[in-house]
A and B are shown apart, each in its own frame.
Chain A
Amino acid sequence: MSSAALHQHPHFFPNPLKWAARWIFTTNHKDIGTLYLWLAMIMFLVGGAMAMLIRAELFQPGARLIDPEFFNQMTTLHGLIMVFGVVMPAMTGLANWMVPLMIGAPDMALPRLNNWSFWILPAAFTLLISTLFMSGPAPDFGWTFYAPLSTTYGPPSTDFMIFAIHLMGLSSIMGSINIIATIINMRCPGMTWMKLPMFVWTWFVTAFLLLAVMPVLAGCVTMVLADRHFGTSFFNAAGGGDPVLFQHVFWFFGHPEVYILILPAFGVISEIIPTFSRKPLFGYVCMVYATVSIALLSFFVWAHHMFTTEMPVAGELFFMYVTMLVAVPTGVKVFNWVTTMFRGALTFETPMLFAIGFLVLFTIGGCSGVMLSLAPADFQYQDTYFVVAHFHYVLVPGSIFGIMAAVYYWLPKWTGHRYDERLGRWHFWLSLIFLNITFFPMHFLGLAGMPRRVPDYALQFADFNQIASLGAFGFGLAQLIFLWVIIKTIVSGKAAGNKPWEGGTTLEWDLPSPPPYHTWVHPPHLD
């Protein structure tokens, strides 16, 4: 690479307008990746602050800080922001940065579309968060916005949420088209399908899931809009509709969405574990097939979110069996990761610590997932803190740890600096400890009978709620270390060199750190 000839990251611009114009008009995959990742970071702090408020209210029984109405707005926005504003943009940011580098492509296939799919998002989140400042309540019916609570009974601000979701969906659809086009068309010579890095594979599958279900979500919110304003009765029994139809449409989007949030994290873990085990990923082919089969199964399990709405016995059994089946490919993945570590030469830098944290806690979340799949037991678990514990165990140490592992793994590549390993470890251990203190007691709360989304609770739930709240405050504070490490690495730190990790094998480690503004102008050749 004649990197010196290509222009470097310009660090300073005398003119702030020029500086803003650069980021607004950029079509460079690295710039856009960076934008996505910063958006996710900002939203993580916003959504996290909402979680802190929720846990502060639940610190003790009784009305304390916020009234029940505002509490509902907080749970709604916390969910929407964490799903659509944190995990999805962060994963897309990682894809933008890494997919072209890992497959030896000079950029994404559709760079202008790429610019647009990012810049829609700040508009969408401004729209969503603006509802907090309107007269009347912000959306207050949970991130799942079940009808008729969001239709007949929804506050006027619901329409803003609907348009925000339309925009997010548009962004995701364009982003996924771009990723699919890039992976199909722009692999370097010799990069056959079965040589694709796992991270690229998982994103390829994820992009198809997005393409399939984001239009369903768009349809779902449009039906809500029509019921609210245009006199339709999709979800209103009085007009011949059915509120349960809403849940079918929503979860037909919602369940694949769950895998959209976790599959790229599987990809990250499948890169990191081999690197720090200094050993190739065990069962690569199996891992690819497992990813594809998880994605396919995800289309046939949606009604397991709705067992308590009651359905014919045959339906109940079908959705129970298919949901249980998801455990097979997921189990294969977990076993393959463990086997990859087995007889390796392991070291435990921060990315690997997060990967191991992922492996352990995601397995726990997976086990509670199997328990939830059992329809009769689900009648007891449904809508309790057991469910809250379950999905936070797969989303926080799953998706979020996956993202954090990726950031620590590739930060030296992005910035050219090594991050502070000691601070990284502090961040990991504090996060690990506090997240367990936060979410583990929630299993007990749910089993003992505490429903989710309640602003106040009976006295027998007081102690575990207090523990969970303390854990949450600790977890929230620990994330400030993360922010600090990132900023510190950007502005200073030892030079990383091309390949900061001894065991790295993928193409990005052949490039300088930070990579020049345009990379793989001449594609590499694989043997």
Chain B
Amino acid sequence: MKLLKKMALKITVFLSLMLVSWRAVADYQLNMTSGVTPVSHDVYLLHMTAFYISLVICAVVFGVMFYAIIMHRKSRHPVASKFDQHLGLEITWAVIPLLILIIIAIPATMVVYRMNDTRNSELVVKVTGYQWKWRYEYLNQGISFYSNLSTPMNQRANLEPKGEHYLLEVDQPLVIPVGEKVRFLITANDVIHSWWVPAFGVKTDAIPGFIREAWAQVDTVGTYRGQCAELCGAGHGFMPIVVIAVSKADFAKWVANMTRGKVNADTMLPNKTWSKSELLQKGRQTYNQNCAGCHQTEGKGLPPLYPALASSKITLGPAVDEIQLVLAGKSGTAMPGFDDQLSDDDVASVVTYTRNEFGNNTHDIIQPRQVAKIREAAKITHQSEQSSPEVNV
């Protein structure tokens, strides 16, 4: 009996500890979201069904077990019965789980079919995972952009207070209309990523060299946040997804804006001469967003996989070589080409930055028009070598 009391005390302490932790966090999300698409609603219902069935099973099993623990302890029930088999009982507990499983399998099967039905979509967006950002291409609208984490480095380094959407905010979110079936074509450029927006019930692996499909029909206007779900290297935790669902009219406006904005960007001040401090300031931003993941904020890299930029042959050698390397990448290594990701301004500033930071005092100043020239030259040689591949959908 003493032991029983001791055990009861321990269990009480345990439960109250659990309860305290529970109440402290009552405001936080504990459960899966029901989301904003037909599929996410279905998945939520399936999840809750399985959860309640699990609760019942646990209650029955633990109920019988604790009954035995309390009633059939040796002090109370000194002589054990000797029964060790009962065909009927044993068949029963093979059949009961089987029946329960069949009951859950039916709705699950129906949802599987619905999830896989990507027909009749009205908008197609190609999603490409990069180390460590996403690229979105609206195939029929001719819109294409990269979406980078926009949380400042200082917040990550605990030098500034963290914002409300810490690590779940991007510089340019994906925008889709509500009420339309949007089909996502998902792939990756380097390693496997996974595009996950919990509110859509969509999580699809982005596999380099292959295209996978998913779809969402969002029923509510709003901002939905997700993250890359497949380990993809050091920046895996830093490539969030933000989707803004807007009304169809707003979406049309956004598309018009984007196509106009693109023309502007191309013709914007091509011959402006930048000052060194302007370049360094922009360069730091560009560097932290695109390069620091591998080469590290301090330029020390993680050799030998990610070489250091501090006093390296590249940053101290001819500037033309460095610009070409940034644009074309280096095959056989983890260094991707940034030709279609960075503008001339970006490349000029980031090259200037790396050549004047980390103790690299070359005093070089690179102007965007120099980059434009090198880019142009590279394009001509590239085109004469091979025709650029088309995206087939």
A5 at the interface (CB under 8 A from B): no
The 8 Å CB contact of B166, one of A72, A244, A363, A458, is: A458
Residues in B199-241 with C-beta less than 8 Å from chain A: 201-205, 207-210, 212-213, 226-238
Q: Judging by beta carbons under 8 Å apart, are B81 and A454 in contact?
A: no
**Bound CA span A432–B72, Å:** 23
Query: When the two chains form their complex, are residues B190 and A153 in contact, meaning their CB atoms are under 8 A apart?
Result: yes
Contacts of A63 in B (CB 8 A): 156-158
Is B391 interfacial (CB-CB < 8 Å)? no
B18 in complex: contacting residue of A67, A342, A436, A448, CB < 8 Å = A436
Determine if B108 and A320 form an interchain contact, defined as CB atoms under 8 angstroms apart: yes
- Stretch from A20-28, A48-56, A379-387 that touches the partner: A379-387
**Complex partner residue of A136 from B228, B235, B303, CB under 8 angstroms:** B303
Q: Are A321 and B162 in contact (CB under 8 A)?
A: no
Question: How many chain A residues have a CB neighbour from B under 8 Å?
Answer: 108
Which A residues, 326 to 346, have Cβ-Cβ distances below 8 Å to chain B? 327-329, 331-332, 334-336, 338-346
Q: Are A286 and B90 in contact (CB under 8 A)?
A: yes
Are B90's CB and A447's CB within 8 A? no
Chain A, 354-413, CB within 8 A of any chain B CB: 356, 359-360, 363-364, 367-368, 370-371, 374-377, 379-380, 382-384
Interface residue? B33 (CB, 8 A): yes
Residues A243 and B208 in contact, CB atoms below 8 Å apart: yes
Query: Do B68 and A308 touch across chains, with their CB atoms under 8 A apart?
Result: no
Chain A residues within an 8 Å CB radius of B90:
283, 286, 332, 336
Contact A376 B115 (CB under 8 A): yes
Chain B residues positioned under 8 Å from A376 (CB to CB):
39, 42-43, 46, 108, 111-112, 115, 201
B residues 53-104 touching A (CB-CB < 8 Å):
54, 57-58, 61-62, 64-65, 67-69, 72-74, 77-86, 89-90, 93-94, 96-98, 101, 104
CB atoms of B17 and A313 under 8 A apart: no
Assess A451 versus B196: contact at CB under 8 Å? Given A325-B101, A367-B57: yes
Determine whether the beta carbon of B162 is less than 8 Å from that of A62.
yes
Interface on chain A toward B: helix, strand, loop, or mixed SS? helix
CB distance from B65 to the nearest CB of A (A): 5
Interface 1/0 per residue, A113-153 and B, CB below 8 Å: 00000000000000000000001110011100010110011
Docked Cα-Cα span, A432 to B10, in Å, equals: 11
Encode A495-521 as 1/0 by CB contact (under 8 A) with B.
000000000000000000000000000
Check if B210 sits within 8 Å of A244, measured CB to CB.
Answer: yes
Listed A/B pairs (20) with beta-carbon separation below 8 Å: A62-B158, A72-B234, A142-B231, A149-B233, A238-B209, A243-B210, A282-B83, A282-B86, A345-B78, A348-B3, A348-B69, A376-B39, A376-B111, A377-B47, A380-B198, A380-B203, A441-B21, A454-B236, A456-B156, A457-B167
Further contacts, 20 of them, CB under 8 A, given A308-B205, A356-B65: A62-B155, A68-B238, A137-B305, A148-B190, A152-B334, A156-B305, A279-B82, A308-B229, A309-B205, A331-B94, A345-B77, A346-B72, A346-B77, A376-B43, A380-B32, A380-B203, A383-B196, A433-B17, A449-B226, A454-B237
Q: Give the top 4 A-B pairs by smallest Cβ distance, nearest first.
A: A237-B209, A454-B237, A367-B54, A376-B111
